[in-house]
Chains A and B, each alone.
Chain A
Amino acid sequence: MITLDNLTKIFNTSMGPVTAADRVCMEVAEGEVCVLLGPSGCGKTTTLKMVNRLIEKTSGKILVGGRDTDTIDAVELRRTMGYVIQQIGLFPNMTVEENIGVVPRMLGWDSQRIRKRAVELLEMMALSPAVFLRRYPRELSGGQQQRVGVARALAADPPVLIMDEPFGAIDPINREVIQDEFLKMQQTLRKTILFVSHDIDEAVKMADKIAIFRGGKLEQFDSPDNVLAHPANSFIADFVGGDRTLKRLRLLKVRDVLNADSPSVRADESLDIAVRRMHEHDQGHIVVTDQDGRPTGCVLLADAVGRHGAAGDHARALPSPVRLDADLRGAVSSMFTHDAEWLPCVDEAGIFRGQITQRGITHRLGDTYRAAAHAAAVPADDGRPVAPQHFRGAAE
C-alpha cells in the first residue's frame, strides 16, 4: 500500500547539508500499522512528512496505493490521507462538527452528509454527538480533543492515516485508554497507518511493523516481536531496552501459552479421582470446579494422599484466574504478585480451560532464541563458526 524506495532528504542548513533521511526503503501492507521509531532527530518525522509531502523529498520514490505521489497534486494527495499531530491542532474558531467537516467540505460534501458523518464518528469515539457536536475545542479535555482529532482525520474515510506522535501529549492513564480504543477501531477499519513514536512500549503495543531509525538511516524494519527478540544491532538492543524480553510479554496472549491439557475435578467427585488425575498428569495440584466448570479452588497432592471424601472438601484457595484473551504481561504480573507458579485460565463465560505455568511461559519466550541459535549452528557444515555449546544444548 505504501512503498518507500530509496527515499532521501537532505536539508541545506547554515551549517552545511544535513541528511535527514538516507535511502530509506520500506513497504507497508494495506491495513497494517507501521510505527516509525527512534530517538529525536533520527529522521522518522521527516520520513513521515515526506509521505504527505509536507516536506518535499530530495530523491527516491514514494508509492501510495501503487501511485507515485509525485504525479498527484500535493494538496489533493493530503486530502486522501488523514493527518493527526501531537498538538492535535483542532481549529479553535470552529465547533467539533465544523472541525470534523473540514476535509469533507473541501471535497464538496453537502452539510447533511457532513453532519451524518460527524455523528457517526463521534459515536465511534464514544463521545455523545448530542453533547459534543456544538462544542468548541477549548471546552474539551485533552483526551476528548485527541479523539476529535482522530475523528477529523477519519472524516473523509481516507485509506491512509499519517500520525505524528498522536498520543504523545496525553497523560499516561488516558493514553493507554485511547491507544486501546484506537486499536479496537483499527481492527474494524483496517486503515494503513504510518505512526511516529519515540516510545518503544507504544510501538510494541500499536505496531504490526516497527521501523527503527538512527541518523536518517532505517536500521531495522520488522515485526515488534522480532525487533525485541532479535535486535539487528547493539543500538537497537539498547534502544528497546535491557528488559526487551519482558516487553515481548505484551505481544502474547494467555491463550498462546495455555496448557489446555490440565486436569480438573468437580467438587462433588471423590478425592481418589482427583489423586488419580494428578498422577496421570504428573502434577502436584488439581483445579476444583463447580457443576458448570467454573474453578472454585484447588487440591494439592500432599493434602489429598491418604484422605477420603469429596474433592471440594479438601480444596484450598485458588490463585486468581486469568482470561484467555488477557495479555501475558498482566498474567505474569499477577503470578509474581501471588507468588504462584501457575494460574488457572478461564474463557469469557468463566469456564476453566486450562492453566499457564511459569515454565511454559519461559519456554515459549525462549523458542525464538533457540531457533536462532539453531539456525546459526546449522551452517557449521560450510566451515563457518559453530554456535556456542550452551545454545545448542538449549535447542535440544
Chain B
Amino acid sequence: METLRFIGDNASLILYLTVQHISIVGVAVGLAILTGVPIGIAITQNRRVADAVLYVAAIIMTIPSVALFGILMPVLSLTGHGIGYLPAVIAVLLYSQLPIIRNTYTAITNVDPALREAARGMGMRPWQRLWRVEIPLAVPVIMAGVRVAVVINIGITAIAAYIGAGGLGTLISRGISQTDQRQLVAGALAVSLLAIVADYALLWTQRRLTPAGVRA
C-alpha cells in the first residue's frame, strides 16, 4: 500500500528514470544491431573466423556487469567519461553482441543451401542474394536475438545506476542504501514491467518484419 502511494507520489520521477533507462538500452542495442548484424553476416564466409568471433562474444557475456564497469571506468576516464551515460551504453553494447551476432550467423548459415544454389544458378550476384533472399529469411531469427539482448540489458542497465548512469536502477540502489522498501520494490517492479513490455513490442515488430511467405 505504501509502495503504491510512493509510486503515485513519484510518478513523474519514475517516468523520467524510465525514459533514461530506455535511452541507454535503446541507443546501445541500436548500435549493437548496426555492428552485430554485419559482423554476423561477414563471419558466415569463414568458419574459423566465425568460431573465434563467437568465442570472444561469449567471453564478454560472462564478465559480471559490475566488473565490466570497473574495467571501463579507468579506460574511459582518459576521455573524462569514466562514469555516467557513456560507460553504461558501451557495456550494454558489448553485452548485446553475442545474441545478435550469434543469431544472425545461425540464421544466415541455416538458409536452405538449395535456395543459395538456385539464386547463384539464376545469376544473382552475392549482394543480391543477401538482400533479396538471405536477409529476408533471416529476419525472424535476428529479431529473436535482438529481443534477448534487450531483455538481458534492461536488467544490466539497472546496475549501471551505481556508476551514475541513472535509470530505474537509481530507485533500487537508493532503496537499498536508505533501507527504503518502497523505492526498492517500485524500482524492481518498473524494471520487470519495462522488460516485459519491451519484449512484446519487439515480438510485434518481429512479426511485422517477417516476410509473409514464411510467417508461421
On A, residues with C-beta under 8 Å from B are 52, 54, 75-79, 83, 85, 87-95, 102-103, 106, 136-138, 152, 162
Contacts and interface: CB of A to CB of B under 8 A. Distances in A.
B118 A138 contact: no
Contacts of B122: 78-79, 83, 102-103, 152
Contacts, number: 73
Contacts of A93: 133, 136-137, 211-214
Interface in B75-124: 112, 114-115, 117-124
A54 B121 contact: yes
B115 to A, nearest CB: 5
Contact of B120 (A54, A90, A152): A54
Given A54-B120, A75-B124, A88-B118, 10 more contacts: A76-B123, A79-B123, A83-B118, A89-B115, A90-B118, A92-B213, A93-B136, A102-B132, A137-B213, A152-B122
Interface residues of B, number: 21
B121 A106 contact: no
Most interface-central of B121, B132, B133 (chain A CB within 10 A): B121
B138 to A, nearest CB: 10
B118 A85 contact: yes
A138 B136 CA distance: 16
B128 interface: yes
Contacts of A87: 112, 114, 117-118
B216 to A, nearest CB: 10
B121 A92 contact: no
Contacts of A92: 115, 137, 211, 213-214
Contacts of B48: none
Nearest to B133: A91
Given A106-B128, A136-B212, A136-B213, A91 B123 contact: no
B128 A138 contact: no
27 contacts: A52-B121, A75-B125, A78-B120, A78-B121, A79-B123, A83-B121, A83-B122, A85-B114, A85-B121, A87-B114, A87-B117, A88-B118, A89-B114, A89-B119, A91-B118, A92-B137, A92-B214, A93-B133, A93-B211, A94-B213, A102-B122, A103-B122, A106-B124, A106-B128, A136-B212, A136-B213, A138-B214
Interface string B186-216: 0000000000000000000000000111100
Most interface-central of A75, A88, A93 (chain B CB within 10 A): A93
B132 to A, nearest CB: 8
A56 B212 CA distance: 36
Given A93-B137, A106-B128, A138 B121 contact: no
A231 to B, nearest CB: 32
A162 B117 CA distance: 13
